[in-house]
A and B are shown apart, each in its own frame.
Chain A
């Protein structure tokens, strides 16, 4: 017998040990006077059967069960080799199932499960100031400072808001992405400087020397990564800042008001705009905090809410009713995509189950062929348990090969998924194969081996003798057929659930595309314009004329139909609000008792670019300038809410923070500012103000405005053309960030579209596998009942009748599956409610279409073997049995 490698060495040692025993025994005898030959022979005789001694000793080594396993494994491999067709189909099906499960799990693992890349990530929380109108409102800087000083549960809290600068004096003028942060932001996250130092709390206040931290990327790109740049100064928006350090540009914070990639970081406390020190002004400022060790998020929430109540008492006019919204940082980052990913993970789980069903059926069909083999084994005394063990070893082998192939498939599939993954799915960079993913693959491989292997193994190992005898030993085991049918019914049910889910997502997407955003996004390109650095300290009139000149230069660029500068007027981008009260009403005591409106500060051409429809009155004109009466347009929502029975035209409203009263001169359509599906959850009322009528004190210091243009040119071509005309006029203008409005809308839907693509893909796969499953079983039945069909046809049955008889076999399984599937889908689609829009999770139409589609495919799959049945030659069929 050939020993496995791990035993050969041990066997050699045992041989040597026994031989040394013999040699010593012989020598003893020789020393006592025996002849050499006789001594040897005597020693041999006394020793006994050398081979038997070594066999009995080997039994002590404890490899017996492992050896049996290896034997089963070799046998299983030989069985797979002998039926390559079966092996290939089963392996492909399983590898596909395991592969997509692994790929999707690696996404779930990277996005949802892997910890945030900071020390003690569980202590990090996102903090927002909640107000009556905004759950996740933004902090006013003064309130933030009070929260920072008065809390007792936070190790540290840091605020941030995004901003931008024009970098001059270091090569060509360039627009920089910037983050305005509290000094503690980096230490809250545990980020260390790449060079230089971090900000100190002492410099985080007005009157200190302006400091800047560069991103690694800007440091390398602009300054060649030279350490000497630390301590030097750079010019941002015309002011000089001292470079104190370098940190990574991507901090992997996927949260609102924090850019994915930053060029520079500056200190919030040094921000000199006096309006920023207004307790009522909150400029897109959110916060991140680290809990003190041992403090729970509930305790911290309670603590900060009590600080908020204190602020409400101290400043009732502004802070009445404020609180904080606090949630784990990771939750804030990935909470929105969790339901989507879990639904997808569930979907691929179903696909794997269907794949297992198919392989189980293949095994069951093969078991018929191997019936003789197992009968002989049983006759030779193999216990049912031993046979089950052997069969499970075979299926385990199958699963392990499939799992390995699946892993390769997943490594490739994950790469593909990453390319497909919309940018709106956070933390995509964390997706990859790691130990946890490998563990998952191992687990589902083992699990699927049990799922598809156990039923056939039990069925095979315990043949129902009674049944076999009744059938006259002619194969056609009814019990086995029933088991196969059960698997097919399960597959049909699972496929239906997936189809229904995919259908609901398709309908959701269709509903979303049908929504009118309130403007015409086609051919609109949005950009940013940076004014020359000198404007930061220029007079309001100079700013106005600079804006006018810029717009004129842009609008006269060839290929640009119309162009409008604006602020806070790009749908789906940042928003700007102010509180107001109506003319003739007393001014409410607290801002939180006032009405709120979105503010769109626009140039008159805005309406030509965006094509927001005019409903009543007039649009804005060039005459609505700094010298004319302040006017405004309101949207239909504001008009309905505040002027339900009167004509809004000619009425006045007072804006609180803006400090100005305007006359309503027109009513325009509502724009879905907050996304196609989520708009209704946010502030609806909208007011348009002429940019030229912006109060002097707020116009001063304007360095950057938004630009919307209508053009048929591609965004970047348009951007280059406009840059040409702007810089022709003045080299210090900057134009940046060209993006088509359709892309912006598309990004909002990207996560959904991604999930629709995947769900449709998975549902199709499920449908295909289920069709193969039902095809296989009906084919099997046709083969098993060939003799019966032959007899029927010999007795005069027509081909059509035989066809129907066979088709009915399939139809019965399909319908049973449909019934169970509809019931299951009814319960399960509820879990995806948060992903749907404009369609109920139990939408009857979707369910009906899914059921019809599944039924049609199933019957089509049955037609092929049923047709084969009609071609049975009665004589041949009867003779061959």
Chain B
């Protein structure tokens, strides 16, 4: 039960967290909006599964990195919006620097291997 999604969460963890935090940096957003923003921002390359997104949002909220609030949307619909907390901002900085280190390291390895 739930194996399919759990595997993906593990695969995407960290990265998905970082993408969610990054998206929220531009302002509060609901779950659907976050998934759309990531998709558009990546030029349709990254499709975020709802089965990964919502567990990630609830987990990030429990960690205290984001906060949620029920709002009325433009269409007069009740939506749950997430916003970045100051702890979340710090977390985003940490994750970005770790990500840059990782990509540089991988790039370094690939470069060496390619020569």
**Chain A residues close to B by CB (< 8 Å):** 13-14, 16-18, 20-21, 23-25, 27-28, 47-49, 52-57, 59-62
Contact with A along B24-39 (1 / 0, CB 8 A): 0000001111001000
Q: Which residues of A contact B78 (CB under 8 A)?
A: 16, 20
Are the CB atoms of B79 and A20 closer together than 8 Å?
A: yes
| B114 contacts the other chain (CB 8 A) | no
Are the CB atoms of A60 and B55 closer together than 8 Å?
A: yes
Q: A56 CA to B2 CA in the complex, in Å?
A: 7
* B37 vs chain A, min Cβ distance (A): 13
Q: A24 CA to B31 CA in the complex, in Å?
A: 10
| B104 contacts the other chain (CB 8 A) | no
A48 in contact with B49 given A21-B31, A53-B54, A56-B6 (CB within 8 Å): yes
Are the CB atoms of A52 and B2 closer together than 8 Å?
A: yes
Are the CB atoms of B79 and A61 closer together than 8 Å?
A: no
- Beyond contacts A21-B50, A28-B36, A52-B1: 20 other A-B pairs, Cβ-Cβ < 8 A, are A17-B80, A18-B50, A20-B80, A23-B77, A24-B73, A24-B77, A25-B32, A27-B75, A47-B50, A53-B5, A53-B51, A55-B2, A56-B2, A56-B6, A56-B51, A56-B55, A57-B55, A57-B57, A57-B58, A62-B62
Q: Which residues of B contact A28 (CB under 8 A)?
A: 36
Which residue in chain B gives the minimum CB-CB distance to A22? B32
- Find A52's partner among B51, B57, B80 (CB 8 Å cutoff): B51
Are the CB atoms of A20 and B5 closer together than 8 Å?
A: no
Q: Which residues of A contact B54 (CB under 8 A)?
A: 14, 17-18, 53-54, 56-57
* A637 vs chain B, min Cβ distance (A): 82
Are the CB atoms of B59 and A60 closer together than 8 Å?
A: yes
Q: Which residues of A contact B77 (CB under 8 A)?
A: 20, 23-24
Are the CB atoms of B50 and A53 closer together than 8 Å?
A: yes
Which residue in chain B gives the minimum CB-CB distance to A23? B77
Are the CB atoms of A13 and B80 closer together than 8 Å?
A: yes
18 A–B contacts from the bound complex (CB under 8 Å)? A16-B80, A17-B80, A18-B50, A20-B77, A20-B80, A21-B30, A21-B32, A21-B50, A52-B5, A54-B54, A56-B9, A56-B51, A57-B58, A59-B2, A59-B55, A60-B58, A60-B59, A61-B62
**Chain B residues close to A by CB (< 8 Å):** 1-2, 5-6, 9, 30-33, 36, 49-51, 54-55, 57-59, 62, 73, 75, 77-80
Are the CB atoms of A61 and B58 closer together than 8 Å?
A: yes
Which residue in chain B gives the minimum CB-CB distance to A47? B50
Q: A62 CA to B59 CA in the complex, in Å?
A: 9
Q: A25 CA to B32 CA in the complex, in Å?
A: 7
* B32 vs chain A, min Cβ distance (A): 4
Q: Which residues of A contact B73 (CB under 8 A)?
A: 20, 24
Q: A48 CA to B2 CA in the complex, in Å?
A: 12
* B78 vs chain A, min Cβ distance (A): 7
Q: A28 CA to B37 CA in the complex, in Å?
A: 13
Are the CB atoms of B59 and A56 closer together than 8 Å?
A: no
Q: A407 CA to B93 CA in the complex, in Å?
A: 54
Q: A171 CA to B17 CA in the complex, in Å?
A: 89
Q: A20 CA to B70 CA in the complex, in Å?
A: 11
- Find A56's partner among B5, B32, B33 (CB 8 Å cutoff): B5
Which residue in chain B gives the minimum CB-CB distance to A54? B54
Q: A24 CA to B29 CA in the complex, in Å?
A: 13
Are the CB atoms of A17 and B5 closer together than 8 Å?
A: no
Which residue in chain A gives the minimum CB-CB distance to B57? A57
Q: A133 CA to B78 CA in the complex, in Å?
A: 90
Q: Name the residue among A14, A17, A23, A59 with the largest chain B CB count within 10 angstroms.
A: A17
Q: A52 CA to B77 CA in the complex, in Å?
A: 24
Q: A27 CA to B59 CA in the complex, in Å?
A: 28
Q: A55 CA to B6 CA in the complex, in Å?
A: 11
* A348 vs chain B, min Cβ distance (A): 46
Q: A117 CA to B95 CA in the complex, in Å?
A: 58
Q: Which residues of B contact A14 (CB under 8 A)?
A: 54
List 6 A-B pairs, minimum CB-CB distance, nearest first.
Answer: A60-B58, A24-B32, A57-B54, A21-B32, A60-B59, A17-B80
* A795 vs chain B, min Cβ distance (A): 60
Q: Which residues of B contact A18 (CB under 8 A)?
A: 50, 54
Q: A23 CA to B30 CA in the complex, in Å?
A: 12
* A90 vs chain B, min Cβ distance (A): 39
Q: Which residues of B contact A56 (CB under 8 A)?
A: 2, 5-6, 9, 51, 54-55
Q: Which residues of B contact A48 (CB under 8 A)?
A: 49-51
Q: A13 CA to B70 CA in the complex, in Å?
A: 10
Q: A52 CA to B5 CA in the complex, in Å?
A: 9
Q: Which residues of B contact A52 (CB under 8 A)?
A: 1-2, 5, 51
Q: A93 CA to B78 CA in the complex, in Å?
A: 57
Which residue in chain B gives the minimum CB-CB distance to A13? B80
Q: Which residues of A contact B75 (CB under 8 A)?
A: 27
Are the CB atoms of B50 and A17 closer together than 8 Å?
A: no
Q: Which residues of B contact A13 (CB under 8 A)?
A: 80
* A254 vs chain B, min Cβ distance (A): 55
Q: Which residues of A contact B79 (CB under 8 A)?
A: 17, 20, 24
Q: Which residues of B contact A17 (CB under 8 A)?
A: 31, 54, 79-80
Which residue in chain A gives the minimum CB-CB distance to B9? A56
Q: A49 CA to B4 CA in the complex, in Å?
A: 11
Q: Which residues of B contact A62 (CB under 8 A)?
A: 62
Q: A48 CA to B55 CA in the complex, in Å?
A: 14
A60 in contact with B62 given A20-B78, A20-B80, A25-B32 (CB within 8 Å): yes
Q: Which residues of B contact A21 (CB under 8 A)?
A: 30-32, 50
* B81 vs chain A, min Cβ distance (A): 10
Q: Which residues of B contact A61 (CB under 8 A)?
A: 58, 62
Q: A165 CA to B80 CA in the complex, in Å?
A: 82
Q: Which residues of B contact A20 (CB under 8 A)?
A: 30, 32, 73, 77-80
Q: A697 CA to B9 CA in the complex, in Å?
A: 104
* A876 vs chain B, min Cβ distance (A): 52
Which residue in chain B gives the minimum CB-CB distance to A17? B80
Q: A21 CA to B49 CA in the complex, in Å?
A: 12
A49 in contact with B51 given A20-B79, A60-B62, A62-B62 (CB within 8 Å): yes
Which residue in chain A gives the minimum CB-CB distance to B75? A27
Q: A14 CA to B61 CA in the complex, in Å?
A: 13
Q: A25 CA to B77 CA in the complex, in Å?
A: 13
Q: A54 CA to B73 CA in the complex, in Å?
A: 22
Q: A61 CA to B31 CA in the complex, in Å?
A: 17
Q: A25 CA to B79 CA in the complex, in Å?
A: 13
Q: Which residues of A contact B5 (CB under 8 A)?
A: 52-53, 56
* A129 vs chain B, min Cβ distance (A): 67
* B25 vs chain A, min Cβ distance (A): 21
Q: Which residues of B contact A24 (CB under 8 A)?
A: 30, 32-33, 73, 77, 79
* A63 vs chain B, min Cβ distance (A): 11
* A26 vs chain B, min Cβ distance (A): 10
Q: A24 CA to B51 CA in the complex, in Å?
A: 17
Q: Which residues of A contact B33 (CB under 8 A)?
A: 24
Q: Which residues of A contact B58 (CB under 8 A)?
A: 57, 60-61
Q: Which residues of B contact A23 (CB under 8 A)?
A: 77
Q: A448 CA to B9 CA in the complex, in Å?
A: 44
Q: A28 CA to B6 CA in the complex, in Å?
A: 28
* A44 vs chain B, min Cβ distance (A): 11
Q: Which residues of A contact B62 (CB under 8 A)?
A: 60-62
Q: A217 CA to B89 CA in the complex, in Å?
A: 68
Q: A18 CA to B58 CA in the complex, in Å?
A: 12
Q: A346 CA to B33 CA in the complex, in Å?
A: 67
* A514 vs chain B, min Cβ distance (A): 75
* A130 vs chain B, min Cβ distance (A): 65
Q: Which residues of A contact B80 (CB under 8 A)?
A: 13, 16-17, 20
Q: A60 CA to B53 CA in the complex, in Å?
A: 12
Q: Which residues of B contact A16 (CB under 8 A)?
A: 78, 80
* A10 vs chain B, min Cβ distance (A): 10
* A96 vs chain B, min Cβ distance (A): 45
Which residue in chain B gives the minimum CB-CB distance to A25? B32
Q: A28 CA to B54 CA in the complex, in Å?
A: 20
* B61 vs chain A, min Cβ distance (A): 9
* B29 vs chain A, min Cβ distance (A): 11
Q: A49 CA to B1 CA in the complex, in Å?
A: 12
* A18 vs chain B, min Cβ distance (A): 7
* A13 vs chain B, min Cβ distance (A): 7
